Amino acid sequence: MIRFLINQQLVELDDTRADLTLLQFLREHRKLTGTKEGCAAGDCGACTVVIAEPTPQFDGLHYRTVNSCITLMSAVHGKQLIAVEHLTQGNTLHPVQQALIDFHGSQCGFCTPGFIMSMFALYHQEGTPNRDDVLHALSGNLCRCTGYRPIIDAALSVCGNTPDDAFSRNTPSTLSSLKQLAGTPLLGTSNLLVPDTRAALAHAIALHPDALLVAGSTDLSLMFTQQLKDVSTLISLAGVKSLNGCTANEHSITFGATTPLSDLTQPLLAHFPQLAELITRFASLPIRNQATLGGNVANASPIGDMPPVLLALNAVLHIDNGTQTRAVPVDAFFTGYRQTALEKGEWLSAIEVPYLTQNELVAAYKISKRMEDDISAVCAVFNVTLNNGKVEGVSTGFGGVAAIPASCEALNSALKGKQWASSECLNIGKQILSEAFAPIDDVRASAEYRKTVLANLWHRFWLEHQNTSQAGSHSSNKIETRVVQHA
């Protein structure tokens, strides 16, 4: 059974299709048609809803947006689902709705419920948002007729005050209802299993060996919503608490595989602060609220953004089958186009990233057409270790240039022992990278463009890191992320 609140009302689902999305549930089961379907692919934000969940201490609620068109019912177990219909109290509009009217932020209105929900989640966040915060909050919402300025102005005018609405007033009773739900067993439904422990997960896989695993569903759902494939049984990882979270020791930081990207941002940036731009440009905020790091890795997409980072940082993947665990270096994990080293009955349980030493120079570059919510045409991550100004080793990770997330060992062998500041390092690197891969032509970029960009990114990386090349003088762990758009 999946139990959750829709607004303040308890819902218990014990039999649903495995692939039922929140959007279908709202529109078809509940006739709540204020939430719109635009793309059914997580791209437009017309379907944005808010999920509220208790903070770990149960002393407040955390409101986050998701794209309901690609989010499965398992995501709301033990939580509160809020759709646009729930905001108005009688004839009184919610403050964010009134602000959108006052600032003339809606024309045809198709995108409006989605923007309202993103503004509603921001309204409930602590602190006063600046323009950048508003842009991030609205990064998953497209509007095709109003223009963004009035919408941004509306959000700036109303968010940042202490929330004063029915939701803030009802917080104690919502928390008490959610506390009761948290105490009930998480069983899922007959088609959508939601095991809550490692052993229960292994058992579910043994009972349904052909069922697909699902974490945030931001990739997997496209199988139903875009390719219209049937799926009979899914096993959700969302209920296994041990898979979610982050631990750090003196050598490394480890992320549970189902940690959503928006939750790992803060701990990741505490150790690698200059990854900030790459992380905030990964999809959009509603996608990052659902998308997990493990899903990005296990999906083995050649254009995923985190595999190149993990390759260059020499991450280690932890794999489990319920009785045994094993550790696999990330460069041994991707075995073919969308194929991985995971064996039957196994799942990815955690991703461990070692800290940088003082002598490592690192930068990550994402080339894409749009700032927000766009897949990389090329992603390149370089990690050069220096010793007394000479190259000791080069680790790299690339997306968009091969059938799998790839690294370039030839660069490492050719540059080892060379003086970093020498033009030899620049030119050999450019030459090797322009020939290392045979990328494809596709809608995002031509093969020629990708090859040229790789060589140019090496040039840029080399230029940007010349002042740090003196005899291991690099004094702090440093990752630099540069995000470049097509001209």
Ligand X SMILES: Cc1cc2nc3c(=O)[nH]c(=O)nc-3n(C[C@H](O)[C@H](O)[C@H](O)COP(=O)(O)OP(=O)(O)OC[C@H]3O[C@@H](n4cnc5c(N)ncnc54)[C@H](O)[C@@H]3O)c2cc1C
| 291 near ligand X, rule: CB under 6 A | yes
Pattern 151-170, ligand X, x by CB under 6 A: --------------------
d(CA 216, CA 298): 12
- Which amino acid is present at 436? A
The residue (of 105 and 302) whose beta carbon lies closer to ligand X is: 302
DSSP 99-112: HHHHTT--SS-SSH
- Which amino acid is present at 413? S
Angle between helices 95-102 and 148-158 (to 10 degrees): 140
Within positions 276 to 315, which residues make up the interface with ligand FES, using CB under 6 A?
none
| 365 near ligand X, rule: CB under 6 A | no
| 152 near ligand FES, rule: CB under 6 A | no
The residue (of 181 and 291) whose beta carbon lies closer to ligand X is: 291
| Beta-carbon contacts of residue 24 (< 8 Å; ≥ 6 apart) | none
Among 239, 302, 304, 322, binds ligand X (CB under 6 A): 304
- At residue 317, the 3 state secondary structure works out as strand
Identify what 294 binds: ligand FES, ligand X, none; CB under 5 to 8 Å per kind. ligand X
End-to-end CA distance of the chain: 51
Among 4, 25, 42, 313, binds ligand FES (CB under 6 A): 42
Among 24, 25, 43, 146, binds ligand X (CB under 6 A): 43
Window contacting ligand FES (CB under 6 A); options: 10-18, 40-48, 334-342, 419-427:
40-48
Identify what 108 binds: ligand X, ligand FES, none; CB under 5 to 8 Å per kind. ligand FES
d(CA 331, CA 314): 8
| 42 near ligand X, rule: CB under 6 A | yes
Pattern 105-134, ligand FES, x by CB under 6 A: -xxxxxxx----------------------
Among 158, 257, 330, 380, binds ligand X (CB under 6 A): 257
DSSP tag of 44: S
CB of 327 to ligand FES, least distance (A): 37
Window contacting ligand X (CB under 6 A); options: 3-11, 125-133, 342-350, 424-432:
342-350
Q: Residue 457: which H helix or E strand, with range?
A: helix 447-464
Q: Are 315 and 353 in contact (CB under 8 A)?
A: yes
| 298 near ligand X, rule: CB under 6 A | yes
CB of 408 to ligand X, least distance (A): 20
DSSP 372-412: SS---SEEEEEEEEEETTEEEEEEEEEESSSSS-B--HHHH
Q: Provide the Cα torsion 71, 262, 109, 157; round to 10°.
A: 150
Identify what 480 binds: ligand X, ligand FES, none; CB under 5 to 8 Å per kind. none
Q: Provide the Cα torsion 35, 36, 37, 43; round to 10°.
A: -90
d(CA 195, CA 187): 6
- Measured at the alpha carbon of residue 146, what is the angle toward residues 164 and 109, in degrees to the nearest 5? 65
Identify what 287 binds: ligand FES, ligand X, none; CB under 5 to 8 Å per kind. ligand X
| 34 near ligand FES, rule: CB under 6 A | no
Q: Residue 216: name the closest of 266, 119, 288, 311 by CA.
A: 288
Size of the residue set binding ligand X (CB under 6 A):
33
Among 65, 67, 74, 289, binds ligand FES (CB under 6 A): 67
Window contacting ligand X (CB under 6 A); options: 26-34, 37-45, 176-184, 471-479:
37-45
Identify what 38 binds: ligand X, ligand FES, none; CB under 5 to 8 Å per kind. ligand FES
DSSP tag of 467: T
Count of CB atoms situated within 10 Å of the CB of 142: 19
The residue (of 144 and 169) whose beta carbon lies closer to ligand FES is: 144
Q: Provide the Cα torsion 205, 206, 208, 211; round to 10°.
A: 30
Identify what 69 binds: ligand X, ligand FES, none; CB under 5 to 8 Å per kind. ligand FES
Within positions 169 to 228, which residues make up the interface with ligand X, using CB under 6 A?
212-220
In the complex, which residues of this chain contact ligand FES (CB under 6 A)?
Answer: 37-40, 42-47, 67, 69, 106-112, 143-146
In the complex, which residues of this chain contact ligand X (CB under 6 A)?
Answer: 41-43, 70, 212-220, 237, 257, 282-283, 287, 290-292, 294-296, 298-299, 304-305, 342, 347-348, 373, 375
